[in-house]
């Protein structure tokens, strides 16, 4: 039994930064793609996409209406489209990235390797970025192919990479919040529950605040769908235009809208019982879009910093 | 004297519990140093401070000449550490884990292949490296723990209760591994609550109890020190007053008890003085037919040392 190959240089060289970083990324990627919850959400997202591809077809069959080609089917939807989906991807990707390591005790052999905690942390973040990007790319590709097959040639497919970036920006607001919760609590269940509560609280209160009060502007500064408004155009329900939302989850749809018609304005409104819709004020779509992107970046920066700081200074008591 | 590990007045508290209490520890390089103490003595806490998992509340720690302060990956480059009852990610295969850890040490792809095979062979996991760690038994995870500590061929190997969770055959095997690697100029620091384990593998030992060091030094010296007075049983061919008189006057004998032809001699020294005694008896005309040296049981001595403090 020979333990060492001592002939080989005894003075150990410092490993390269890229080696340490990529090792952590691989460690995390192998975990991510084997997470059952993540795979579950991915499958659900595919099922959901299939449904949204087929539903118009089914409906037109059911009502005997003529089925029309729609060249704007894929890009016109504006991204993954549901804030809930973005949130779910974020949640299942990173809810145990940090807390799970503490709970299982696997953090101990990991952080005692010659890799700084900062590299471990950002390696994990980067791995989740890769995983979620891959999932979104697959979903978009699926929608593009399915949409073309069912609704004919599609317009503006070249915007797809931009849509993916927009969706990633929206998702990473949630990713960073979930990471911060996980890093502070070191408890996966607590992380998941508190993240879900935050998401639901915002999602439920936002439309109410937005539609029935004049304080909707505040929603532009919390994560999620943001305030509701409309852009002038064909009437949609009781609105004198097309409804839009302005928050961090709406970055992709507003991005697409802005690229296709840059000069649009978003009008905010309030519903008054008996009096109908009262216009509050308007602002350019470009303002709405850039603000939501800045707000997203601010959340990502602050939450990521919090998560990193807590992780870097955590003692391993487990 | 080159020190691999040194702690000075090390203190660590968990709330009101003082787990490590002004611990002074010196571990010489190129020794197998046992860190012996009962459960709850503060061994794991001390080791966790050495490897940067916990921050001390007081005192200083130096590992391989560098002060342990904050997150210092470059010191860890030279340390192999096996945690107490280590747990590894279930969703990775044994090979994947070792490969990733190896990359963290900056070991080249080519070299990793060779070293992984070698450590797998040493710990007896060969053939199971393509299985998910989730399918490993606790004993196998323990072996993987040793494998990953050896992987980087470190200067210092810290093993926290290496035989915990192993079956008796596994324990013997692991002790063999430890002795083997220490031959190659590596410092091994291993904690244990088992005296006989430390006795079998270590050259040096520090005894810790309630977070403080009770005794530290070469194993034989410590054993001699804690094991207390030694008894010598001598049977003569026939009873002899002369022999009794001569022995009584020897300086290192404190008491002699006579039972016909048998003498029970209580020694004041822990040195081996059998030659001197045998010589004295022969000179006085006695004939020895049987001689047996008895120490107080080490286990018992160890318990007494701990009770005393
Ligand atoms: N995470 C923790 N929280 C509170 N007390 C702890 C913790 N870990 C250890 N202790 C206490 O610190 C003391 C030393 O424990 P430990 O270092 O694990 O001892 P050993 O490894 O020698 O068995 C014990 O009294 C133990 O109960
Ligand atoms: Mg312990």
What's the CA gap between B279 and A43, in Å, rounded? Answer: 89
Q: Is residue A11 part of a domain?
A: no
**Confidence band (pLDDT; 50, 70, 90) for A9?**
very low
Beta-carbon contacts of B2 under 8 Å, excluding residues fewer than 6 positions away, are B28, B29, B30
Residue A119 pLDDT level (bands cut at 50, 70, 90): very high
Residues B41 and B212: their CA atoms lie apart, in Å, by 8
B38–chain A nearest CA distance, Å: 20
A-chain residues near B100 (CB < 8 A) = 23, 26-27
The structure tokens listed for B102 are: 């190896």
- E-strand stretches of chain A: 228-236, 239-245, 265-272, 276-284
Q: How many CB atoms lie within 10 A of CB A29?
A: 19
With H, G, I as helix, E, B as strand and everything else as coil, classify residue A37.
Answer: helix
Please check whether residue A9 lies inside any domain of the structure.
no
Of A103, A317, A318, which is best to mutate to test ligand 1, by the most ligand atoms within 8 angstroms of its C-beta? A317
**Residues making up chain A, counted from first to last:** 318
Mean pLDDT for chain B overall:
91
- How many structural domains comprise chain A? 1
At A318, the pLDDT band (50, 70, 90 cuts) reads confident
Cα B107 to Cα A157: distance, rounded to the nearest angstrom: 44
Strand arrangement of the beta sheet that strand B79-82 belongs to: B79-82, B156-160, B187-192, B32-36, B204-209, B212-218
What is the distance between the alpha carbons of residues B193 and B207, in angstroms, rounded to a whole number? 10
Tell me the chain B residues in contact with residue A1 when contact means C-beta distances shorter than 8 Å: 121-122, 177, 180
- Which residues, 6 or more positions from A34, have their beta carbon under 8 angstroms from its beta carbon? B91
Residue carrying structure tokens 């959901």 = A48
The more confident residue out of B269 and B171 is B171
Instruction: Render pLDDT for B239-294 as a digit per residue (tens, 0 to 9).
Output: 888 898 899 888 888 889 988 899 999 888 777 888 999 999 999 999 999 998 87
With a cut of 70, say whether residue B16 has pLDDT above it: yes
In-domain check, residue A4? no
Q: Is A12 helix (H, G, I), strand (E, B) or coil?
A: coil
Task: Indicate the pairing of strand B204-209 with strand B32-36.
Answer: parallel
Could you tell me which residue, A67 or B117, shows the higher pLDDT? Answer: B117
Q: B80 has which bridge partners? A: B157
Task: Answer whether A15 sits within 8 Å of B101, measured CB to CB.
Answer: no
Distance CA A195, CA A189 (A): 10
* Domains of chain B as residue ranges with CATH: 3-219 (3.40.50.300), 228-299 (3.30.70.100)
Residue A10 has pLDDT above 50, yes or no: no
Is residue A252 very low, low, confident or very high in pLDDT (cuts 50, 70, 90)? very high
**C-alpha span between A96 and A124 (Å, rounded):** 11
Structural domain includes residue A108: yes
Runs of H (alpha helix) within A261-284 = none
Q: Collect contacts of A56-65 with beta carbons under 8 A, ≥24 apart.
A: A57/A150
Neighbours of B19 (CB within 10 A): 22
| Burial A233-264, CB ≥16 within 10 A → b, else e | eeeeeebebeebbbbbbbbbbbbbbbeeeeeb
* Mean pLDDT over the full length of chain A: 89
A143 in any annotated domain: yes
What is residue A1's predicted lDDT score, i.e. its pLDDT? 47
When pLDDT is averaged across residues B22-49 and rounded to a whole number, the result is: 96
What confidence score (pLDDT) does residue A7 get? 42
Q: How far does the centroid of ligand 2 lie from the alpha carbon of residue A31, in Å?
A: 29
**Cβ B263 vs Cβ B280: under 8 Å:** no
Give residue A163's pLDDT: 93
Section A98-110 average pLDDT? 97
Cβ separation A112–B83 shorter than 8 A: yes
pLDDT tens for each residue of B82-141? 999 999 999 999 999 999 999 999 999 999 999 999 999 999 999 999 999 999 999 999
B87 CB neighbours in chain A (<8 A) are: 104-106, 108-109
* Bridge partners for B28 per DSSP: B3
Across the range B7-34, mean pLDDT stands at: 96
Cβ–Cβ gap B73/A4 under 8 Å: no
Q: Cα(B40)–Cα(B49) distance, rounded to whole angstroms?
A: 15
Dist. CA A20–CA A119, nearest whole Å: 7
Q: Which candidate, A290, A224, A299, A217, places its Cα nearest to that of A255?
A: A290
Query: CB–CB of B99/B68 below 8 Å?
Result: no
Burial grade of A141 (CB within 10 A; 0-12, 13-18, 19 or more)? exposed
Residue A6 located in a structural domain: no
Q: How far is the CA of B54 from the centre of ligand 1 (A)?
A: 12
Given CB atoms, is A14 within the 8 Å cutoff of chain B? yes
- In residues, how long is chain B? 309
Q: How many Cβ pairs within 8 Å bridge chains A and B?
A: 123
| Cβ pair A316:B181 closer than 8 A | no
Which atom of ligand 1 sits closest to the CA of residue B43?
22
Contact B266, B231 (CB under 8 A): yes
Residue B35 scores a pLDDT above 80? yes
Q: Is A7 part of a structural domain of the chain?
A: no
Q: How far is the CA of B29 from the centre of ligand 1 (A)?
A: 27
CB contact under 8 A, A106 and B153: no
Distance B41 CA to ligand 2 centre (A): 8
Give the residue carrying structure tokens 């884990």. B97
* Contacts of residue A307, Cβ cutoff 8 Å, sequence gap at least 6: A98, A121, A176, A179, A180, A182, A183, A184
Residue A79 has pLDDT above 70, yes or no: no
Give A180's pLDDT tier (boundaries 50, 70, 90). Answer: very high
Q: B12 CB under 6 A from ligand 1?
A: no
Shortest-distance Cα residue to atom 20 of ligand 1: B40
- Coil, helix or strand for A277? strand
Whether A8 shows a pLDDT value over 50: the answer reads no
Mean pLDDT of A59-79: 78
The token pair that represents B212 in the structure block? 């403080």
Averaged over A192-198, what is the pLDDT?
96
* Lowest-confidence pick of A235-239, B47-51, B121-125: A235-239
Best of A26, A109, A111, A124 to disrupt the B interface by mutation (most B CBs within 10 Å)? A109
Q: What is the pLDDT of residue A218?
A: 87
- Residue A32 domain-assigned (yes or no): yes
Residues ≥6 apart with Cβ < 8 Å to A158: none
> Among B194, B219, B220, B187, which residue's Cα sits nearest to residue B206?
B219
Give the per-residue pLDDT at A81.
61
Which pLDDT score is estimated for A4? 58
Q: Identify the residue whose tokens are 């192998």.
A: A30
What's the rounded mean pLDDT across residues A85-92?
A: 94
Q: Is the pLDDT of residue A137 over 50?
A: yes
**Is there a contact between B206 and B41 (Cβ–Cβ < 8 Å)?**
no
**Does position A73 have pLDDT exceeding 90, yes or no?**
no
DSSP string, B241-294: HHHHHHHHT-TTEEEEEEETTEEEEEES--S--HHHHHHHHHHTT--EEEEEEE
User: ∠ CA(A233), CA(A238), CA(A241), 5° rounding?
Assistant: 10
ipTM of the complex as predicted = 0.89
Question: Is the distance from the beta carbon of residue B211 to the nearest atom of ligand 1 less than 6 Å?
Answer: no
Strands (E) located in chain B: 3-14, 17-28, 32-36, 58-63, 66-67, 79-82, 156-160, 187-192, 204-209, 212-218, 230-236, 253-259, 262-267, 288-295
Residue A95, pLDDT score: 95
Q: How far apart are CA B221 and CA B250, in angstroms?
A: 23
The predicted pLDDT at position B190 comes to 96
A230 beta partners:
A243, A267
Q: What is the mean pLDDT of residues A212-229?
A: 87
Give the helix/strand (H/E) hosting A57: helix A36-63
Q: What is the pLDDT of residue A78?
A: 67
Closest C-alpha to A211, from A238, A234, A235:
A238
CB atoms within 10 A of CB B259: 9
Q: Is the Cβ atom of A275 under 6 angstroms away from ligand 1?
A: no
Q: pLDDT confidence of A213, banded at 50, 70, 90?
A: confident
State the residue range of the domain holding A221.
16-312
């Amino acid at each position: 039994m020979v333990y060492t190959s001592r002939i080989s240089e005894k003075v150990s060289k410092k490993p390269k930064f890229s080696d340490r970083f990529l090792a952590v990324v691989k460690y995390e990627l192998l975990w991510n793609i084997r997470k059952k919850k993540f795979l579950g959400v991915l499958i659900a997202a595919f099922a959901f996409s299939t449904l949204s591809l087929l539903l118009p077809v089914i409906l037109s069959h059911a009502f005997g209406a003529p089925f029309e080609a729609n060249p704007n089917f894929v890009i016109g939807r504006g991204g993954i489209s549901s804030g809930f989906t973005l949130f779910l991807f974020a949640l299942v990707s990173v809810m145990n990235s940090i807390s799970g390591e503490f709970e299982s005790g696997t953090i101990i052999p990991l952080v005692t390797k010659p890799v700084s905690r900062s590299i471990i942390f950002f390696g994990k973040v980067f791995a989740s970025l890769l995983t979620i990007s891959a999932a979104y790319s697959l979903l978009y590709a699926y929608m593009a192919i399915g949409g073309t097959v069912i609704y004919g040639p599609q317009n503006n497919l070249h915007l797809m990479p931009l849509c993916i970036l927009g969706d990633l920006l929206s998702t990473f607001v949630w990713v960073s919040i979930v990471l911060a919760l996980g890093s502070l609590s070191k408890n996966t269940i607590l992380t998941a529950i508190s993240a879900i509560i935050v998401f639901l609280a915002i999602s439920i209160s936002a439309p109410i605040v937005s539609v029935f009060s004049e304080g909707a502007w505040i929603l532009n500064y919390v994560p999620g769908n943001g305030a509701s408004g409309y852009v002038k155009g064909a009437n949609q329900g009781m609105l004198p235009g097309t409804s839009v939302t302005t928050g961090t989850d709406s970055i992709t749809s507003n991005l697409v809208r802005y690229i296709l018609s840059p000069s649009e304005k978003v009008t905010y409104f309030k519903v008054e019982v008996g009096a109908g819709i009262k216009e509050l004020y308007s602002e350019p779509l470009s303002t709405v879009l850039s603000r939501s992107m800045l707000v997203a970046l601010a959340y990502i920066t602050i939450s990521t910093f919090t998560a990193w700081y807590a992780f870097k200074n955590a003692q391993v008591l487990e | 004297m080159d020190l691999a590990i040194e702690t000075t007045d090390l203190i660590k508290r968990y709330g009101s519990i003082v787990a490590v209490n002004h611990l002074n520890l010196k571990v010489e390089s190129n020794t197998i140093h046992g860190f012996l103490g009962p459960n709850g003595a503060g061994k794991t806490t001390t080791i966790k401070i050495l490897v940067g998992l916990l921050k001390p509340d007081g005192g200083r720690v130096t590992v391989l000449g560098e002060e342990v302060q904050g997150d210092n990956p470059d010191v860890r480059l030279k340390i192999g550490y096996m945690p107490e009852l280590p747990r590894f990610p279930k969703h990775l295969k044994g090979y994947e884990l070792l490969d990733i850890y190896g990359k963290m040490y900056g070991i080249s792809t080519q070299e990793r292949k060779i070293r992984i095979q070698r450590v797998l062979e040493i710990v007896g996991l060969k053939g199971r490296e393509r299985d998910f760690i989730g399918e490993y038994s606790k004993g196998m995870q323990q072996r993987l723990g040793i494998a990953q500590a050896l992987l980087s061929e470190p200067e210092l190997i810290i093993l926290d209760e290496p035989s915990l969770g192993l079956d008796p055959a596994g324990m013997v095997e692991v002790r063999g591994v430890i002795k083997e690697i220490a031959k190659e100029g590596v410092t091994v620091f291993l904690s244990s609550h088992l005296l006989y384990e430390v006795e079998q593998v270590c050259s040096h030992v520090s005894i810790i109890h309630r977070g403080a060091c009770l005794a530290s030094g070469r194993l034989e010296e410590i054993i001699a020190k804690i094991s207390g007075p030694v008894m010598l049983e001598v049977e003569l061919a026939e009873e002899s007053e002369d022999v009794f008189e001569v022995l009584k006057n020897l300086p290192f004998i404190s008491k002699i008890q006579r039972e016909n032809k048998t003498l029970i001699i209580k020694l004041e020294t822990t040195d081996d003085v059998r030659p001197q005694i045998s010589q004295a008896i022969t000179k006085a005309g006695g004939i020895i037919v049987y001689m047996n040296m008895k120490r107080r049981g080490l286990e018992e001595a160890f318990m007494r040392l701990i009770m005393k403090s």
